[in-house]
Amino acid sequence: MLSMTTRTSVQLAALLVLGVVLLGLGLAVGSTGWSPWFGEHAWPADTMHQILWDIRAPRSIGAWMAGALLALAGAIAQGLFRNPLADPYLLGCSAGASLGVAALLFVIGLSPAATALALRIGMTGAAFSGAVLAVVLSLVLARGAEHGLRLLLAGVVVGVVLGSGAALLTLINPDALRAMQAFMLGSTGYVGWSAVQVMAMALVLCLLVGLACSRALDALTLGEDTARSLGQRLTLIRLLLIATLSLATGAAVAQCGLIAFVGLIGPHLVRSWGPTTHGALLLLSALTGGALLLAADIGARWVIAPQELPVGIITALLGGGYLLWLMHRRSSALGATR
């Protein structure tokens, strides 16, 4: 029987190897399906270098980064709210990002000044600003972060209101429907090296803050009163963790759009491998989420090549199937014990 530390080390090594293998596959799979960079059917050297370095490499690394950010945010949210169904979008981040993008597309064409301002902000800036706005509104509506249930309810309300606003702007401006649809379904096709750098910095910062607060998350599993008796400053820690999950979610959504289930399924998979502390859970969840989204992105390029599926459809199918299987397994286990 392996100890918890040994098991965590083995899982960490396995996920790192899996990430490297998937990155290699990501470099070998393009818009025409399987097209490796070696062998008699390889592209000319200059063309292959441009395809690998400018298109496939940033897209593959960016997909891994986005998945890692979403799964890390999901693990923080589940630990903070002590709810295994919590996901990165529970504070209205997705609806806020959608509203930001819809507002950007709406003002384009209204006037030269509005168009110039919208182009300067860009879709990435609009999505990130909308996500941050949603979290701030949730905190204001909940009157701070002291009460987890009130904050959850505030997030639901803010998500519904901002989502309705995004739908209204899209209805008024039908020309923006195609761009909004691409954003809502998620895509890694436009990720470049600048986006990779932004997500890498956000991932490092969020991991450092999350790991620093991991003992507080361990204490919260015993209840708020117990955590306070252990000397944890819950109000400050909640604000730090909410800011961290908001940054992680906003950075991923701003670059890749709304990608479903990765932030929910990643931590669930790690927990299914055995009990662990939140420090290990956050790190393993990030690696698992990165592998999940990169694998889904490879599948999105490969399944119907030369056409491409939105990666959000792949993750929704995989995540929904996993949850249905999990529900069936638990129902069967309950039936067997009766």
pLDDT, mean of residues 236-246: 89
Whether residue 45 has pLDDT greater than 70: no
Q: What are phi and psi of 31, to 5 degrees?
A: -70, -20
In three-state secondary structure terms, 187 is: coil
Mean pLDDT of the chain: 84
pLDDT number for residue 283: 94
Whether residue 31 has pLDDT greater than 80: no
Whether residue 145 has pLDDT greater than 50: yes
pLDDT, mean of residues 172-187: 81
Helix axes 93-107, 112-141, angle to 10 degrees: 160
Whether residue 112 has pLDDT greater than 80: no
Q: Which of 49-58, 113-122, 199-208 shows the lowest per-residue confidence on average (mean pLDDT)? A: 113-122
pLDDT number for residue 125: 84
- Under the banding of pLDDT at 50, 70 and 90, the label for residue 180 is confident
Residue 134's DSSP bridge partners are: none
| pLDDT higher at 116 or 239 | 239
Domains of the chain from N-terminus onward: 58-333 (1.10.3470.10)
State the DSSP code for 55: I
pLDDT number for residue 43: 55
The two structure tokens encoding residue 231: 């000397």
pLDDT number for residue 285: 95
pTM, entire model: 0.88
Q: What pLDDT, in 10s, does the model give residues 55-73? A: 888 999 999 999 999 999 9
Percent of the chain with pLDDT over 90: 26
- Under the banding of pLDDT at 50, 70 and 90, the label for residue 200 is very high
C-alpha distance across the termini of the chain, in Å? 30
Cα 114 from Cα 104, distance rounded (Å): 9
pLDDT number for residue 38: 47
242 contacts 80 by C-beta, under 8 angstroms: yes
pLDDT number for residue 66: 95
Nearest to 58 by CA among 168, 194, 174, 164: 194
Q: What pLDDT, in 10s, does the model give residues 260-293? A: 889 999 998 998 888 888 999 999 999 999 999 9
Residue with tokens 């941050």: 132
Q: Report which secondary-structure segment, H or E, holds 195.
A: helix 193-212
pLDDT number for residue 137: 92
- Under the banding of pLDDT at 50, 70 and 90, the label for residue 174 is confident
Whether residue 40 has pLDDT greater than 70: no
